[in-house]
Amino acid sequence: MNAPPPESSLSGAKAHLQALEMLYASAPVNAHYDSRIHLEKAGVSRIEFTVDDRHFHAAGAAHGGLYFKMLDDAAFYAANGMVSDRFLLTTAFNLHFTRPMKEGRAIAEGRWISGKRRVLVADAHIIDASGEECGRGTGTFMRSHIALSGLDGYRLS
């Protein structure tokens, strides 16, 4: 899904968060998922996505790769919401599966925990269509040498 068109004359944190939403939408990998990110404020993210049988392993539930992708993205964007100049890189991610995900809508919510200078920590959890938690994880993210302003998908209004 595509990010909404930018609002004109946004500034500061709101412009950064909207540019991160556009960056998410521009990532080629996201063409494989029915998902949309919402960044209401720095340090918090919400990804709404659909689980369908394309994501299933042989036993009929979502493969762990889907859990990781959505949890990593939710934690990453919560953390990168705190950093406006550099793209972050995931250096470690600890994932816990708490329930099999079946078909339907789900939400991955991320939250920045600590750090702002070089290393940031954020966590995330997935809630399925029935309101149950399916997984949670914590990631460590490091500032890269990649300027956000140099990425095609990151456009400040």
Question: Do the domain assignments include residue 66?
Answer: yes
Determine, yes or no, domain membership for 94: yes
Of 21, 1, 44, 24, the closest CA to residue 156 belongs to 21
Residue 155 in domain? no
**pTM summary value:** 0.91
Structural domain includes residue 51: yes
Give the model's pLDDT for residue 7.
44
- The answer, yes or no, to whether residue 87 has pLDDT greater than 70, is yes
- Tell me the residue range of the domain where 75 lies: 12-148
Q: Which residue(s) pair with 86 in the sheet?
A: 147
CATH number at residue 132: 3.10.129.10
pLDDT at 154: 97
Residue 23 falls inside a structural domain: yes
User: 12-26 and 64-80 helices cross at what angle (nearest 10)?
Assistant: 150
**Which three-class secondary structure state does DSSP give residue 74?**
helix
Burial 74-83 (b: 16+ CB within 10 A, else e): bbbbbbbbbb
| Assigned domain for 88 exists | yes
Q: How confident is the model at residue 4 (pLDDT cuts 50, 70, 90)?
A: very low
The domain tally of the chain equals 1
Whether 111 is in a domain gets the answer yes
Question: Which residues are 38's β-sheet partners?
Answer: 46
Mean pLDDT along residues 2-30: 80
